[in-house]
Every structure is written in structure tokens, then in C-alpha cells.
Amino acid sequence: MSVPQEAMHAFMDKPSFWQRLRITDWIWAVLVITGTAFVYQLYSSYMDVYEQGFLIMSAPALIALGWNWRAVQPLSLLITAFSLLGIWLYSGNIASAETVFGLKYLFSSQSAIMWMSALFVLATVFYFAGLIANNEFIAKTASVLTWSAVVMGFTGLMVRWYESYLVDPEFGHIPVSNLYEVFILFCLITGILYLYYEARYRSRALGGFALLVISAAVAFLLWYSLERDAHEIRPLVPALKSYWMKIHVPANFVGYGAFALAAMTSSAYLIKYYYSHPSRLVAILVPSFIFLGLFTWIFARTAFGKTAVEGSLLALAFNAFGFALAITLLLTALGFLLMLPSTQKALPSLEILDDITYKAIALGFAFFTIATILGAMWAAEAWGGYWSWDPKETWALIVWLNYAAWLHFRFSKGWRGTQMAWWAVIGLFITLFAFLGVNMFLSGLHSYGEL
């Protein structure tokens, strides 16, 4: 079959990638290269050959990212400016965090991360309010809040990296070494991924869904920080003193963030589907409520049981039960609001929701595969073997097999629709257990990350 003449001309007249670049894109490239060269000149003597390689390779990667998604350019510049300001305000003295106004309330790692947490929660409320009220101004405000949260969160991580060297040069490390730090990373990566799809599909209707899981992570982050003083900077355990950590952990959390986004997009898919098929809704409501309540109760019971200093077993169970009931009722009320006709009209079509879920899982699977390979290589260096069937490794394999099967059935069988959406939602709970449940309930070679 011949290609229509008009299509041929449209393809030939379309500007190439290089022709689409603007003068600001070239300025961006120059700034990234200049900054990378400056950092290399200043700190290369403190880096090993692998770290130098990471730094050099990060420049073209960041340039390409900024060229393909221009929002990254002002985002990176703001993060850099705020991070440098925070570092400058310290003046080499960690005690300045409590005496300098700009650090105490804005740019110390703790202050910036608290801002990130508050902004993410506010953005979640605004996204849902904008969706339910069908108000574009509220939705735009939510988007601004989300971008602001990402800026403050990354600023907090960058300043925390510097703070670790101020506390003790021997403590200095990239802030991806414990549950507190990686939960921040999870929030930021999930937020960034959502913002990309928001721009790609030009719809803010899914913001509340995506940020709901981020708000849950923020709640855990605040609890973990208050109960365990997790925000304190401590020395690395020997197994984590490796360049592998710098690439294995971020790659892992791109996977986790993408899987979380896919699950929340699938939740929107299911809400929209069952709105159109109310006769099927009753059959899934009761088991869903029971599962949600039981899951929340188990988590709350474990958390309260570990943190309570005194109190009877009955009191602990009541606290956990009350918490689980409150969360279940809150999400149920939200679900009914999302069933309003105006809300349903604002949600993207089932085809778009399915497409976002697929792309998010494909992205997450690619990065999770890379992270698993990197983890095996790290294990060989640290413990002398690529695989030891440690609980964390075993559950990582279960997560990998789960999403490999999801992609396989989509490609080979052409599966679409509700069964794949439910699978993606259940996959989030499997991933959550691999990420957090193993640390709570099991022990092994990765016990340095236990809750």
C-alpha cells in the first residue's frame, strides 16, 4: 500500500530534533557542562574513578532530559540555586541550622523536607478539590504546589548530602542510605513522573490519585522521623560504603515510583469503569473494604506495637483498629465523591488511563531490571555472591516476575481493561511489601534497613 502524498509531505516538512532546539536549550547545555566542569575541578580529587565517571555521564543525560522535557531546565536551576544558598548559609558550621533564619525555616535539610511534606499534602487536597469541583484554577494551584514540593524536596536532599560531611567527614554520603532518605526519594521520583505525564497528556485530573500515595509516604516519613529520630545523620554501615549504592538505589526507586503511579492510574481506571457498570460495583465493594481495612490494621498494629512504651494489648489493638477504620472511611468517602458525574466527566478516557498505566509499568520494569542487576553485582562485591535468596532479594524477584508477567500478557495475549487494572493495583501491595514489609517482618542480609 502506498503512503498518501499528504502524509509524505507532512513527514518531510516536520523539523528535525536539532531544528526544534531553541537558543535557551543551548544556553542550558552550556550551563550544565560548565557546572559539571566546575564540580569536577573542585572535587575530583575526593572521588574515585567510578564517581568521576558518574559525574561526567550525568552531564549529557541531564542535557538530553532538559531538551526533551523543558520543564527540567528551570527546575534544575531552582534546585541548584536553593541548594547553593543553603550550603552558603551554613558557612561550614552545622550549628548554623538552629541560628540562621534562612536555614532554620527554609533551606536546612529538615526545613526543606518539612516544606516538601506540607506542599505535597496540600497539593493532594487541591488536586481532588479541583477535580470534584471541576475548577481549573484550583487544579493549576495544585500543580504549582507539586512543583514547589519537588524543588524543596530535592533541595533538602542536596543540603543533607552537604550536612553529612559537616557532621563528620567520615559520615559523608549520598542521602539514599536508609528508609528516611529513600522515602523522600520515592516521593520526589513519583512526583516527577506524575508531572511528566501531566504535561504529556495535558490533564491534571489524575493529580489527586498520584499524590495520594505520595501523601501516604509523607505520613509514614513524618511518623518514622518523630518516633525513630530517623532524620539524624548517622555513619554508614560497611555494606553501604560502596559506589554501587549511588546507582542501585535511585534506579530501584524509579521503578517503585513508576509502579506506584501505575497503580493509582489503575485506581482511576477502575472508578471510571465501575461508574459505567454500576451492577458490577457491589460485587467488589465489600472485599475491597475488608482488604483495605485489614491491610491498614496490620500496618498500624505493627507500628503502634513497636512504638508504644506502655499500654495494654487491648489499647494497642483499639488504636490500630481506630486508625484503620478512619483511613478506610476516609477513602470510602473520597471514592463516593469521585463517583459524581462531574468528576467522571473530568477524568481521562479509559484508553488514556490504560495507556498511562502501561507506559508507567514499562518504564518501572526497565529501571527495576537494571536495579536488580546492579544489586546482584553489588552483592557479589559485598558478600561474595550474586544471589543469596535473602528475603529482600527474594521479594525483589517476586516483584520483577509480577510485572514481567503483566507485560507478557499485555503483549502476547493483548489483555486490557479491568483485569490488568486490578493486577496493577495488587502489584502495588506486592511492591510495598518488598519495599517496606520485608524490613518490618523479616530479617536477613539487608537487616541494616529494618524498621
Q: Which amino acid is at 348?
A: P
In a domain? residue 169: yes
Q: Is the pLDDT of residue 319 over 70?
A: no
pLDDT by residue (tens digit) across 33-91? Answer: 999 999 889 877 777 777 788 889 989 999 999 999 999 999 999 999 999 999 999 98
**Which residue blocks in 21-71 are alpha helix, DSSP H?**
23-43, 49-68
Q: Which residue has the cell 553489588?
A: 378
Task: Name the average pLDDT for the chain.
Answer: 85
Domain termination residue (choose one: 203, 236, 269): 236
**Same domain, yes or no: 116 and 223:** yes
**What is the residue whose three cell numbers read 512526583?**
191
- Most confident range (mean pLDDT) of 25-34, 171-180, 334-343, 437-446 is 25-34
Please enumerate in sequence order all residues whose Cβ is within 8 A of that of 210, keeping only pairs 6 or more positions apart, or say none.
Answer: 190, 191, 194, 261, 264, 265
Q: Is residue 123 part of a domain?
A: yes
- With contact defined as beta carbons under 8 Å apart, do 240 and 173 qualify? yes
Nearest by Cα to 39 from 148, 139, 162, 144: 162
pLDDT digits (tens, 9 = 90+) for 17-36: 788 889 999 999 999 999 99
For 417, how many CA atoms within 13 A lie in the half-sphere containing its CB?
A: 6
Q: Please give the tally of structural domains in the chain.
A: 2
For range 351-374, the mean pLDDT:
95
Work out the average pLDDT over 110-138.
94
Q: Is the pLDDT of residue 254 over 50?
A: yes
Residue 84 burial (10 A CB sphere; 0-12, 13-18, 19+): middle
Same domain as 180, residue 32: no
* 180 belongs to a structural domain: yes
Q: Is the pLDDT reported for residue 8 higher than 70? A: no
- Averaged pLDDT for residues 251-256: 94
- Range list of β-strands (E), 30-173: none
222 and 102 within one domain: yes
Decide if 164 is inside a domain: yes
Q: Are 37 and 56 in the same domain?
A: yes
Q: Between residues 355 and 5, which one has the greater pLDDT?
A: 355
pLDDT, tens digit (0-9, with 9 covering 90-100), for 375-433: 888 888 877 777 788 888 899 999 999 999 999 999 888 888 899 999 999 999 999 98
**DSSP character string of 407-447:** HHHHHHH---SHHHHHHHHHHHHHHHIIIIIHHHH--STTG
Q: How far apart are CA 375 and CA 189, in angstroms?
A: 19
Helix, strand, or coil (residue 98): helix
Identify which has the larger pLDDT, 236 or 97.
97
What per-residue confidence (pLDDT) applies to 246?
84
**Do 41 and 132 belong to one domain?**
no
Instruction: Report if residue 271 sits inside a domain.
Output: no
Flag whether 128 is in a domain.
yes
Specify whether 142 is located in the same domain as 200.
Answer: yes
For residues 41 and 100, membership in a common domain is answered with no
Q: What is the pTM of this model?
A: 0.88
Select from 176, 183, 217, 173 the least CA-distant residue to 374. 176
Q: What is the dihedral of CA 238, 241, 247, 253, to 10 degrees?
A: 50
Place of cell 509523607: 218
What whole-number distance in Å separates Cα of residue 180 and Cα of residue 230? 6
Q: Which three cell numbers stand for residue 399?
A: 516483584
In a shared domain, residues 161 and 27: no
- Most confident range (mean pLDDT) of 7-11, 305-309, 409-413 is 409-413
Among residues of the chain, what percentage have pLDDT more than 90?
50
Write the pLDDT tens digit of every residue in 169-198. 887 888 888 889 999 999 999 999 999 999
In a domain, 417, yes or no: no
Q: How many CB atoms lie within 10 A of CB 305?
A: 14
Distances, alpha carbon 223 to alpha carbons 219, 230, 242, 283, 432, in Å: 6, 9, 29, 35, 17
**Cβ(86)–Cβ(163) under 8 Å?**
no
- Counting DSSP H helices and E strands in the chain, the numbers are 18, 0
Domain assignment present for residue 228? The answer is yes
Q: Which domain holds residue 24?
A: 13-68
Query: How far is it, in rounded angstroms, from Cα 437 to Cα 429?
Result: 10
Of 208 and 381, the structure prediction assigns the larger pLDDT to 208
One domain for residues 59 and 130: no
Q: Do 186 and 99 sit in the same domain of this protein? A: yes
Start-to-end C-alpha separation, the chain: 62
Which of 236, 256, 271 is the last residue before a domain boundary? 236
97 and 59 within one domain? no
> Which of 236, 271, 293 is a domain's end point?
236
Closest CA to 390 of 313, 320, 449: 449
Do both 22 and 92 map to the same domain?
no
